[in-house]
A and B are shown apart, each in its own frame.
Chain A
Amino acid sequence: MSTRSPGRQSLLATTLRGNRLGVPSVLFFVMSAATPLTVIAGVVTTGYATTGLTAIPIAFVVVAVVLTLFAVGFVAMAPHVANAGAFYAYISRGIGRPFGVAGAWIALLAYNALQVGLYGAIGAATAPLLAQWFGWSVSWWVIALVAWALVAVLGVQQVDVNGKVLAVLLLAEVAVILVFSGANLANPAGGGITFDTLNPANLFGSGVGALLALAVLGFVGFESAVVFSEESKDPGRTVRIATYLSVGLIAALYTLGSWSLSVATGPDRIVDEARAQSTELLFTLAGQHLGEGFLTAGRVLFVTSILAAMISFHNTTARYAFALGRERVLPAFIGRASPRSGSPRAGSVLQSLFGLVVIVLYAGAGWDPLVHLFYWGGTSGGLGVLLLIAATSIAVIAFFARNPSGEGVWRRLLAPLLASAAVITIVVLVLNNFTTVLGVEPSSPLRWIVPGGYLAIAVLGVIWGLVLKSGRPEVYAAIGLGAKAAATEAGIEIERVEA
């Protein structure tokens, strides 16, 4: 082979490295998918109102600690997983392919629930602006359908919201949350700042599971830094630091935002105020303390925040379905991209259809969009993600037990063990308090329907995995690997000699 002068830079390596990212870029990518105003103005206020519990701020801290612990082993395993952004790939690799299929289907259900849930919030977020600007009073579902059409069109073209736009939105949302929180803390109810909602002792009452479920919902997407495992400057370090930082920053922001709300209303009044004002609570307080301009800015950003989250969850769901179709875990047509746009068209169209059906169903039945769609969709989806995290944490232990891969005992064993114990504890608590999570009577069948739905789809997934194992071993072998299957007989010859 030819010789190479030692000083010359490899052109190939340089070109491929040209795209390589550092910690700030990866951090921005993860954080901008977090859409923090959706969580503070939407999830936190509805959470206070529905659960009737006040320890939400400290729950964010607890969950952040657990997720950081989980991330230790998760990030360590990421380079060994083909489709590193998807929990099911870890489950498939660590526990077994049938469980991977179960995880994949749970994820699809959970992400769909999270996405369609947002259609329930967009009406409540937009209506005050339409009333303020035009004096219009529009039904929530009209606004939801407009948003749906936008998402469907952008989704099938696979238009991602531009990274720079997301970054600007993120910074604006963070600024608004900081300013609003500052104003809340500067105007405490009763004249003194209180720390009741930050007191960990408040967690250990009844309903702790509900608080933890809500907090987990706020962190959905924290795992996405690992998709950069292949293309960051110093993969292990960059992804690790970006993951820890994003969990820490998200926790700080949500804890501050939710705590300052309770300071402004007074911890004894936060539940009643949230019930009375719902998603308007954050903005009403801002209007009182800061004036009309900030109020409007906050409301506009709440709308753009929900829209960005919708588009991002839609695209995530469509790509997820595509990845599963490509591996034949879902029908093959879902795994086909549009040649001209390169978009996972079938996955996108199916997700949009699901969204449309849900909006029409809720509008027709007259169900409450905020609590019964946004909040239930969010918490049910959050439960699915929590189940995936639990299964993944076990998969990490199992994987490193077989392939130590040169990792130290902390990363491959101790941290994953602690994380598994903590996450499984959270799952048990959440399931115990699931009626409180949803804000329904303890006798409500929903308590069993939502977890039961996940259980049913998991069982079906395992069965499908086993069917593939015996019937189509070449498909089975590719689960979680990003590859595809082949080979049937169709009867056209290929000449062995070049024509």
Chain B
Amino acid sequence: MLLGDEFFLAAHDDLGGKLRLHRVNLGLGLAGALLGELVLTERIAVKRGHLWVSDTRPPEDVLSHSVLSHLMNEDDVSSVTPWLRYLAADAYDQVGTRLVHSGHAHRRQARRLLRTVTVFDLVDPNTAAGPVARLSSRLHARHPLSLLDATLIGLMAATGLEKEVTRDAPVPAHRLIPDLVGRLPPPLRELVAATETAVGDAVLSHRR
């Protein structure tokens, strides 16, 4: 499963499928994950707060491909932060749609106070609980983490979700997370840091 899908699942309660995250944090986390997919497939590079396309071959995944084309079409904006904020706006819908296509979710219109919103129901509770269960047990057993897993934990921490996976960890979260993030390759580390900063900025922003 791709980084964005896993983050999407981790951001949902495995029991009721309720969101564990405020929509702002959710969007920014998913945006970080979408850019992370492109880093993991070595299509983009991230350095000193900027990103650029290093390999223009289209990625296999349709959404990943569309994000990459977007980055290529608008190469005048290279700062990571505006891209995170921009991708955050539609990320929930886009990653949710990708999960619908892969058969992991259903799309549904739900009534809220004064408006209708799109929500995604996850099909299989086991799949939904997968990422959190996998990360928890690997951390608990001190198993080595894949790059994807470590990035996922970093993004979860950036959005305030790390407690979901660090409860049984041998080291408390406030020591574990900085260490893990610190040992990510620089582009992913920067991406996680940029996501965390964007989440914090959103708390401070008057506009929510």
Write the A339-351 contact mask toward B (1 if CB under 8 angstroms, else 0). Answer: 1111110000000
Number of interface residues of B (CB under 8 A): 57
A90 at the interface (CB under 8 A from B): no
Q: Is the interface of A mostly helix, strand, loop or mixed?
A: loop
Q: Is the interface of B mostly helix, strand, loop or mixed?
A: helix
A160 contact set on B, CB distance < 8 A:
206, 208
In the assembly, what is the distance between CA of A227 and CA of B25, in Å? 21
In the assembly, what is the distance between CA of A495 and CA of B21, in Å? 29
Shortest distance in angstroms between A86's beta carbon and chain B's nearest beta carbon? 9
B184 at the interface (CB under 8 A from A): yes
In the assembly, what is the distance between CA of A342 and CA of B207, in Å? 12
Residue of A nearest to B150 (CB): A494
Contacting pair B200 A494 (CB below 8 A): no
Contacting pair A487 B182 (CB below 8 A): yes
In the assembly, what is the distance between CA of A344 and CA of B25, in Å? 13
B63 contact set on A, CB distance < 8 A:
none
- Choose among B40, B69, B174, B183 the residue that contacts A494 (Cβ–Cβ < 8 A): B183
7 tightest A-B CB contacts, nearest first: A339-B160, A499-B146, A342-B22, A490-B179, A487-B182, A493-B144, A490-B171
Residue of B nearest to A333 (CB): B174
Q: A19-B207, A492-B180 are in contact. List 5 more A-B contacts (CB 8 A).
A: A10-B77, A342-B208, A484-B196, A494-B147, A495-B144
Residue among B53, B70, B199, B206 with the most chain A CB within 10 A? B206
Write the B171-208 contact mask toward A (1 if CB under 8 angstroms, else 0). Answer: 10011101111111000000001001101111110111
From known contacts A1-B75, A342-B24, A492-B176, infer whether A486 and B86 are also in contact, taking CB-CB under 8 Å: no
In the assembly, what is the distance between CA of A484 and CA of B203, in Å? 15
In the assembly, what is the distance between CA of A336 and CA of B157, in Å? 10
Assign chain A's interface to a size class. Answer: 35 or more
- Choose among B53, B70, B178, B200 the residue that contacts A486 (Cβ–Cβ < 8 A): B178
A491 at the interface (CB under 8 A from B): yes
Contacting pair B178 A482 (CB below 8 A): no
Contacting pair B77 A12 (CB below 8 A): yes
Contacting pair A490 B175 (CB below 8 A): yes
B89 contact set on A, CB distance < 8 A:
15
- Choose among B83, B184, B199, B207 the residue that contacts A337 (Cβ–Cβ < 8 A): B199
B20 contact set on A, CB distance < 8 A:
339-340
Q: List 7 A-B contacts (CB under 8 A).
A: A339-B159, A342-B22, A344-B203, A484-B196, A490-B171, A490-B179, A492-B176
From known contacts A322-B203, A337-B203, A339-B160, infer whether A495 and B83 are also in contact, taking CB-CB under 8 Å: no
